[in-house]
Structure 1
Amino acid sequence: MTYAITGATGYVGASVLKRILENTCVPVIIIGRSASEDTAGRVSRGLAAAGHSVTAEDVNRLEFVKASYYKPHLDLSLRDYDRIADATDHVLHFAANLDFVGSTSELDRDNVQSAVQMCKFAQDADSRLTYCSSSYVSGQRTGDIFEDELIDGGFTNTYERSKFLAEQYVRWWHARTHKPVDILRCGTVCDGKLPSDGSPTHSIRGFCEFSQHFEGALTRKLNHAAVPRELVLTGNPEAFIHPIFIDECADIIERIIRQQQDGLTAYHLTSGQQLTFGEMFSVLNEFRDIPIHLDPNKRESDLSRHERLFVRMSRGFARYFARVDRTLDQENVRGIVGAAYEFKTVGRQELMVAATPPTQTPDAQIPQKISVPQ
């Protein structure tokens, strides 16, 4: 058994790779977009952030291959392509462009065409494919969203559309080739740790860091009288995201990978929690001089210039402030973890850690093993 993995430097990919290294003895081919030494350094930092220090034994099991996911034969020579295809038994495709406001052409290249080429690689390798999709392929759909269906209900942004089209292709490819496929529809993956330098981060912390930088820019560039007392954005405080802790997410993915189920199975990897933006902002505002509030009755045309600037610079995140009532079915996930399994939920403590500026430590109890980066 040999795994070939893309996206091993990312938040989810690094955590899955950690479990492969710790719980198996199989070789791993890491397909990266950078030079081998650059990818190796990023993988090492990602593994360290996930709690794994690379050992000499790990080094002997890892092979780094520089490739372009969206090009035929991954832009490798036919000799190199055939060599790694012949060696691969299971393809894990985690790489993706997560830019909510990316151009259609860039997202089609990085997400759709990459999925096409990784399917072709899995076919040439005669291997299983585990593809990391997104719970956001549901787009603007409401009501019950089932794991085994994929329906176009319109999309909030070009990212959602690209992930929908990519999953659509993976499903078509499975129907044509009958290769076994796992589809991982991850929700908003997060943790309760302070970030490490150079390590992958999650979108909740990323938004908190953005709001901190935005506030800092306003206070530096405006005189005191011109600094807004608050930002009131168009949105519903009851709008929510579907979170899951990275450790739980990676543990379930490892179990899915080991299960080697026939056919195609999709999984909604979320905790089932509906984390509202009202909850998030109530904690975030404790760390900000310019609090952020959501008003469902406020029209976008009524936003101040600073509020419009915030929305524009949030790179599409603010679009999720509109409430979409839906429930993600988890029948297939429950088949993995059991009907009685209780997921951890994101609470005040985790939000405080995400909202804490890097130079501060939140007042709540944080494990002593976490060091605050300087």
Structure 2
Amino acid sequence: MQDVYFFTGFPGFIATRLIRRLVELNAGAQFRLLVHPSQRERAERERATLGSAEQFQIVEGDITREGLALTSEKSDALRGCVTYVFHLAAVYDLAVPKDLAYDVNVNGTRNVNTFVKSLPQLKRYVYFSTAYVSGDRTGRVLETELVKGQNFKNHYESTKYEAEVLVQSVREQVPLTIIRPGVVMGDSKTGETPKFDGPYFVMRFLDKFASLPIPYVGRGDVLMNLVPVDYVVEATCCLAHVESGEGKVYHLTDPRPYTAKQAYELICRELLGKPPVWTLPSGLVYGALSIPAFRKWVQVERETIAYFQEQSVYDASQAERDLAAQGIQCPDLREYMGREVAYYKEHREDREKLIAVR
């Protein structure tokens, strides 16, 4: 039987990369790509780079609406053929307003769950969560843990947590794999990334002070979980299909992470050719970023600072074990950071990659 993959989150960067890799692994597979009407034009352009409209069919819909806003005819057609569901659609902005985050991340996931449970030929439901459903937990966080009474740093974290709770509630009803990535960077081989957020905010910050002695931000002794997108894609494609992946949650985090101070210094040396030489208290930086004019000038979201104080240590034992059996491992940050920074330097004036800071 021909596999049919149903995706939300297309034409997003990770979803598109996953689709390209799945085609390499299964050339005869079919794809049904759920796209919000507002994204139709962009999706059509991206689909044209993938292949034929017959193999990669765009389906207009809306995860925030009951039945994904699909016609009964389209729903019936999908139920008759879909074998894999990859749910990536979400609002990933750390500064996202609560109502929008809840509607897309929580209500949207509830609606996708309902759709998934209606698929008689389903082989695997792959849900993209985040390692940061751990919220403000400290110490070692296991892949097998979720509900621990934690609080959250922002609405992105809290709504992704609520969404994963919903997904875990159906794990006895459908074959399920949950992916929890860390902070996803660009490709480890090319540096390619669609937008300069997350650790790229550090690069944007350093650009503003390149001619001055560069400070560290805070003590920086906590661990940073940076992972390149090609590792996330390769690992996900593997875990979505191997028998050992069914029913499991995976931290796609760096099993040998660098501290925030080490990662910051790596970026600084690659970007500016010099190391930081003094330390600025993180509270002072956060306070400055609370001033809209300063925040917009340096082009850094204040929510970013919290991730330089993250006290969680993400245990990725299940991911390491199951991926090692397939010859897959996370690249070392020191080996690819130079390519990430080089890509940023080449494209830092590209307005489409710059995240608007409010």
TM-score, L = length of structure 2: 0.80
- Match for residue 238 of structure 2? 255
Whole-Å Cα distance in 1 between the matches of residues 240 and 272 of structure 2?
A: 42
**1:147, 1:266 within 8 Å by CA — same for their partners in 2?**
yes
Aligned to 2:356: none
% same residue: 19
- How many positions carry a matched residue from both structures? 336
How many Å separate the matches in 2 of 1:302 and 1:132?
29
Aligned equivalent of 1:184: 179
Decide whether the 8 Å contact of 1:140 with 1:153 is kept in 2: yes
Contact 1:2 1:90 in 2 (8 A): yes
Q: Which shows bigger deviation, 324-333 or 133-142?
A: 324-333
Question: Following the alignment from structure 2 to structure 1, what is the Cα–Cα distance between the partners of residues 242 and 65?
Answer: 31
Instruction: Mark the runs of 5 or more structure 2 residues left unpaired by the alignment.
Output: 348-352, 354-358
Contact preservation (8 Å) 1:233, 1:303: no
**Relative to structure 1, is the Cα distance of residues 232 and 205 closer, same or farther in structure 2, using a 3 angstrom cutoff?**
closer
TM-score w.r.t. the length of structure 1 is 0.77
Is the Cα contact below 8 Å between 2:85 and 2:126 reproduced in 1? yes
Q: Tell me the CA shift for residue 3 of structure 1.
A: 0.9
Match of 2:77 in 1: 83
Is this contact kept in 2: 1:3–1:26, CA < 8 A?
yes
Indicate conservation of the 8 Å contact 1:238/1:323, yes or no: no
In 2, are the aligned partners of 1:100 and 1:315 still within 8 Å (CA)?
no
The Cα of 1:243 is off from its aligned counterpart by 2.3
Could you tell me which of 87, 96, 111 is aligned with 2:90?
96
Cα deviation, residue 131, structure 1? 0.4
What is the CA distance between 1:343 and its match in structure 2? Answer: 3.1
Match of 2:223 in 1: 240
Q: 1:267 and 2:250 equivalent?
A: yes
Query: Mind listing any 5+ residue stretches in structure 1 that lack a counterpart?
Result: 45-52, 220-227, 362-372
* Structure 1 residue 109 corresponds to structure 2 residue 103: yes
Match of 1:368 in 2: none
Query: Match of 1:182, SS?
Result: strand
Specify the alignment match of 1:6 in structure 2. Answer: 8
Q: Which residue of 2 is the match for residue 32 of structure 1?
A: 35
In structure 2, how many angstroms separate the alpha carbons of the residues matched to 1:91 and 1:250?
Answer: 15
Instruction: Report the counterpart of residue 133 of structure 1 in structure 2.
Output: 129
User: 2:179 touches 2:249 (CA, 8 Å); kept in 1?
Assistant: yes
After superposition, give the CA deviation of every residue in 1:241-274 in whole Å (9 maximum; x if it has no partner). Answer: 2122322222221122222558621111123122
Q: 1:231 to 1:108 in 2, by over 3 A?
A: farther
1:314 equivalent in alignment to 2:301: yes
Equivalent position to 1:71, from 59, 65, 74: 65
How far apart in 2 are the matches of 1:63 and 1:85? 15
Contact 2:217 2:285 in 1 (8 A): no
| Structure 1 residue 97 displacement after superposition | 0.9
Task: Map 1:215-226 to 2 at 5 A.
Answer: 215=208
**Distance (Å, rounded) in 2 between the aligned partners of 1:294 and 1:154:** 32
Q: Which structure's CA Rg is the greater one? A: 1
Contact 1:103 1:158 in 2 (8 A): yes
Q: Aligned partners of 2:130 and 2:277: how far apart in 1?
A: 28
What is the CA distance between 1:357 and its match in structure 2? 6.8
In structure 2, give the amino acid aligned to 1:247. Answer: D
Quick check: 1:204–1:354 contact (8 Å CA) kept in 2?
no
Do the aligned residues in 2 keep the contact of 1:130 with 1:182 (CA within 8 Å)?
yes
Q: Which amino acid aligns with 2:152?
A: F
Distance in 1 (alpha carbons) for counterparts of 2:319 and 2:266: 34
For residues 96 and 339 of structure 1, do their structure 2 counterparts lie closer, same or farther at Cα, with a shift above 3 Å needed?
same
Cα displacement (A) at 1:38: 2.3
Q: Give the equivalent residue in structure 2 for 1:367.
A: none
What residue identity is the alignment partner of 1:32? V
